[in-house]
Structure 1
Amino acid sequence: MINQAEQVDARRIACMEVWGGHDGFVGEVSVPGNDVFVGCTPHVGDAQGGDIYYVSNCAAGMITRFVLADVAGHGSVVAASAASLRDLMRRYINTADQRKFARALNKKFASDAGRFATAVLVTYFSPTDHAVICNAGHPRPLHRSIRTGKWRFLDGTCEGTLASASAGKFGATNLPLGIIHPTGYEQFAVQLERGDLLALYSDAFLEASGSDGKPWGEDGLLDVINSVDASDPSQFRTLVLAEIARRTGAPTLDDDATMVVLHHNASDPPTQSLKERIVVLGKVLGLR
């Protein structure tokens, strides 16, 4: 759960911390290398929705992880999924290869009959400024290059990305969580430059429809995204929603509207004091 104080001011995510939930929230958090702007508006004014968002920071601040999941269902189903996701985020907080995390998530969802979710996992590795992305049936992330000023959808086939080895031994790969166990998960990496933006979002942004009543999909969303001023990442989601409302004539999206925008500032992890290192070590060992 996110308290009211956290909704007012930007806060730094501490080492070994997992932050997030499925509450309505608009605000900023800070992790090494990125300013993170989170906006979640549950459908029809509910306090909580079916979208789950989490941010974690490893013991040394070199591995930060971002997760956006869209769970099938509402209420207690989503609450249970959010708790499971948080527990697994904490278990794998120091694990660089997030494919293990993805497989564990899939196993957990598959063990609970009827629980399914799409999810996108992003691990940022600060020593090299790489964002490593694993997609479990979720809408493709969007990347804006500071050099070109243009947005593009990201997957392992895009120019400038480095794809992982095939997970073919599992047969099916990158399926939504809970569909088939075991499922293999492949990932790819893109190196970020200072000023680049990376956006994760829920499928409601793709399902907005124009005058013909048909969902506009990736092409329509990309047209909207490229028409919006991205100079202030903290306002980007607000501007996108306003432009969608202008084009569709509908004041809100027809589902939870969640977007997580990463603004790459290329900052290094802070140097830890002796006391901080002792506290972090205790968390790693499960003593605190």
Structure 2
Amino acid sequence: MDSSPEKPCLNPMRCMEIRGGNRAVEESFQTPGLDAWLYSLPFENSVRGGDLHYVSVCGGGVITRLVVADVSGHGEQVAEFSDALRSMMWKNINTKSQTRLVEALNRQFGETAQLLRFATAVVATYLATKRTLTICNAGHPRPLWHQAATGPWGLLDKEFAGAGNLPLGLDDDSPYNQFTVTLGAGDVLLFYTDALTEAMDASGRLLGEDGLLEIARGLDLSDPHRIAPALLAAIGRHRSGRPADDDVTLLTVFHNARGPRRLSLAAKLDVYAKLLGLRSPRAPR
């Protein structure tokens, strides 16, 4: 008898829709060109955590924006920045460039945190018409990238001259470098927070980036929806079954390489209603 888990339903996100927040969530969804699985669990099963996760789709079904952030601190104290992030995602939902969003996030967090806190974040913008992904990493753990055409897992990263990007909230005038890659059909991306790399075994040894890569290289990629559960289970074994000592967030993205969907008349009317303020995007978690 087959005891394998049933495949989850990939719920298509609508145009002008935003999903996310800082609450516990386990869901799967689809945007033009991407299949995604999101898992987030606040520390000690709190209602809200310090990990933030947001996904948006533009009015034309071309731009998907992904944000995973880790705010120093936990719980309700992070709610103000979570709401501000969602507001900025909405303001930039139809903008292909993410530069303005990242700069605004840095300024907003600096004002909100008043130097008492900081946040690491990775912001990614996917264009379904070009199959490109633009990445800005603000001091966050580097995403993992499996290129189906070449085989091995690696880090989604690029070296820039000078110092790397600072976490958000440390310097209002800090510039943020970004880079763009072209995704191939079947590529897999893993965005996560540091609870994964800082998972500790019984002897106190951290898993680390190399350990996470080693686990990823041993995963069966034939069924993308099983990647996240398998990875989290392996990390749980590294911790000898002990619960994580921080918020845990993992966003798994499979590049199905399908182009933008053609919008129906009803979908177009829904987009116009949201643009005119007659209808709100999905409420935050």
Q: Could you tell me the TM-score, scaled by structure 2's length?
A: 0.88
Matches of 1:16 and 1:186, distance apart in 2: 27
Amino acid at match of 2:62: M
5+ residue gaps in structure 1?
1-7, 158-162
Q: RMSD of aligned C-alpha atoms?
A: 2.0
* Structure 2 match to 1:160: none
Which deviates more from structure 2 when the two are superposed, residues 185-194 or residues 74-83? 74-83
Which deviates more from structure 2 when the two are superposed, residues 272-281 or residues 75-84? 272-281
* Structure 2 match to 1:152: 154
* Structure 2 match to 1:242: 233
* Structure 1 match to 2:5: none
Matched, 1:276 2:267: yes
Q: How does 1:132-171 map to 2 (within 5 A)?
A: 132-157=134-159
* Structure 2 match to 1:193: 184
Amino acid at match of 2:255: H
Matches of 1:43 and 1:17, distance apart in 2: 28
Which deviates more from structure 2 when the two are superposed, residues 206-215 or residues 109-118? 206-215
Deviations 1:70-100 (A, max 9, x none): 1112222211111011000000111111011
Asked if 1 retains the 8 angstrom alpha-carbon contact of 2:147 and 2:188, the reply is yes
* Structure 2 match to 1:4: none
Matched, 1:116 2:118: yes
Amino acid at match of 2:257: A
Matches of 2:41 and 2:223, distance apart in 1: 20
For the structure 1 residues 145 and 173, does the alpha-carbon distance in structure 2 shift closer, same or farther, using more than 3 Å as the test? Answer: closer
Q: How does 1:36-51 map to 2 (within 5 A)?
A: 36-51=36-51
Matches of 2:86 and 2:219, distance apart in 1: 33
Query: Offset at 1:277?
Result: 2.1
Query: Offset at 1:26?
Result: 1.1
Deviations 1:157-201 (A, max 9, x none): 4xxxxx8xx8x9xxx762111111111111111111111001100
Asked if 2 retains the 8 angstrom alpha-carbon contact of 1:173 and 1:184, the reply is no
* Structure 2 match to 1:255: 246
* Structure 1 match to 2:215: 224
Deviations 1:46-69 (A, max 9, x none): 232111111100010111100001
5+ residue gaps in structure 2?
1-7, 280-285
Amino acid at match of 2:125: T
Query: Offset at 1:9?
Result: 4.9
Asked if 1 retains the 8 angstrom alpha-carbon contact of 2:196 and 2:207, the reply is no
* Structure 1 match to 2:18: 18
* Structure 1 match to 2:77: 77
Is the partner of 1:89 in helix, strand or coil? helix
Amino acid at match of 2:241: A
Q: Could you tell me the TM-score, scaled by structure 1's length?
A: 0.87
Deviations 1:125-153 (A, max 9, x none): 11110111110110001100112332111
Asked if 2 retains the 8 angstrom alpha-carbon contact of 1:70 and 1:202, the reply is yes
Matches of 1:214 and 1:227, distance apart in 2: 20
Query: Offset at 1:23?
Result: 1.4
* Structure 1 match to 2:67: 67
Matches of 1:194 and 1:49, distance apart in 2: 34
Q: Which has the higher contact order (CA 8 A, sep 6+)?
A: 2
Moved over 4 A (4+): none
Residue correspondences, number:
270
Is the partner of 1:204 in helix, strand or coil? coil
Query: Offset at 1:287?
Result: 4.6
Query: Offset at 1:243?
Result: 1.3
Query: Offset at 1:238?
Result: 1.5
Amino acid at match of 2:70: D
